[in-house]
Copies of this chain bind each other. A is one copy, B any other.
Amino acid sequence: MSRDQPMRRRMTTIQDIAAELGLSAMTVSRALNGHPDVKDETRARVEERARELNYRPNRFARGLVSRQSKLIGVVIPEISHTFFSEITGGIQEAIEPDGYTLILCNSAGSPERERREVDMLVGGRVDGLIAASTFPQDDPELYAGLAEEGVPFVLIDRYFPALESARVHGDDDATIRLCVEHLANLGHRDIGFIRGPDVSTSSLRLAGFRESLRALGLRENPDWIVPGGFTVDAGREAGLQLLQRPSRPTAICAVNDPCALGLAQSARRLGLKVPQDLSITGVGKIEPDYLPEQYLTTTEWSRAEIGATAGRTLLAMIGGGSPADLPDVMLSPKLVIGRSTGPPPSR
């Protein structure tokens, strides 16, 4: 009798092995899990039969009773950006040796989607969570809720100022200072800024920008600080707007690399040469190392290290870290000089 159910052969269970060998399920379980109190001969028989029957422990049954899944949830805004995919690689390296597996979710920059994914992950009983949140920095509610539920999590790249939590992120203040100093050294005095969305990385970079200008004795022109975003599209829009003003800066710092690349597109469209007419800097070095030339002048810090640190931190928390000392790890950036910056045009 055929059913229209998906036909998936029933998999071997511990009971099957036990029955075949005339043992109890308990003994088979012990033998398979390396429990010491099992006769060597018994263990050998069990292991052999398990291999023959292609036995694989059922994670659901195991998870149901052990209350741990050995699963780590990761939520990032964009998987196809090397920035985040390399972080993901670092996480994986860190958690794999301990038998953990990664479940990856892509929020695509949408808080709604991020909330659904986090709910799904926690409902799926991941043992912990690593997230680069897309929620505005003054809206930590989702993660505050997790903290309350006792779900271990680590925030990467961005964080919520008002929420105590484990964090691993780049030094946003230092990163933008490197850019401004580089431009000042080239002779620029009129520097603009394209802002990002309302997450910590954005606002810290803007604050760093202002502070750097002040420290260098450069004037801050409010007209040259324009709203933008984290994407190429946002950078393009912001660029069109800023570059068509009556007066424009000779250099612009963008809040991140995609934004800077969008800005560069707009500059070209408006007939401006980069860097002859306009210098541009980004943040995050999204361009892959294997390319022969770096286009954008930008900053970078180790993404693999962000991932690895976040992974190790989370495992420590899962292992029973006290919530008293939530780690806050900040990585130092370095400047990467590309073709997008040069001396300002002579008047």
A interface with B by C-beta (< 8 Å): 4-9, 11, 54, 56-61, 63-64, 67-69, 71, 79-80, 82, 85-86, 88-89, 92, 101-106, 119-125, 145, 149-152, 232, 258, 261-262, 264-265, 268, 286-288, 290-293, 295, 318-320
Closest Cβ of chain B to A100, distance in Å, is: 10
Q: Tell me how many chains of this kind the complex includes.
A: 2
Contacts of A287 in B (CB 8 A): 288, 291
Contacts of A288 in B (CB 8 A): 82, 286-288
Q: Is the CB of A60 within 8 A of B64?
A: yes
Q: Is the CB of A120 within 8 A of B101?
A: yes
* Cα–Cα distance between A258 and B291 once the two chains are bound (Å): 9
* Cα–Cα distance between A120 and B101 once the two chains are bound (Å): 9
Would A102 and B101 be within 8 Å (CB), given that A4-B320, A79-B89 are in contact? no
* Cα–Cα distance between A60 and B8 once the two chains are bound (Å): 18
Contacts of A121 in B (CB 8 A): 101
* Cα–Cα distance between A54 and B151 once the two chains are bound (Å): 13
* Cα–Cα distance between A319 and B11 once the two chains are bound (Å): 19
Give the residue of B7, B58, B79, B103 whose beta carbon is less than 8 angstroms from that of A64.
B58
Indicate the member of A5, A79, A293 with the most B CB atoms within 10 Å.
A79
Q: Top 8 A-B pairs ranked by shortest CB distance?
A: A56-B123, A60-B63, A60-B64, A9-B150, A104-B104, A80-B85, A59-B124, A60-B60
21 intermolecular pairs with C-beta atoms under 8 Å apart: A4-B320, A9-B150, A58-B64, A58-B123, A58-B125, A59-B125, A60-B61, A60-B63, A61-B64, A79-B92, A80-B82, A80-B86, A82-B82, A101-B121, A102-B105, A103-B103, A261-B290, A268-B292, A288-B288, A291-B291, A293-B295
Give the residue of B8, B9, B85, B105 whose beta carbon is less than 8 angstroms from that of A101.
B105
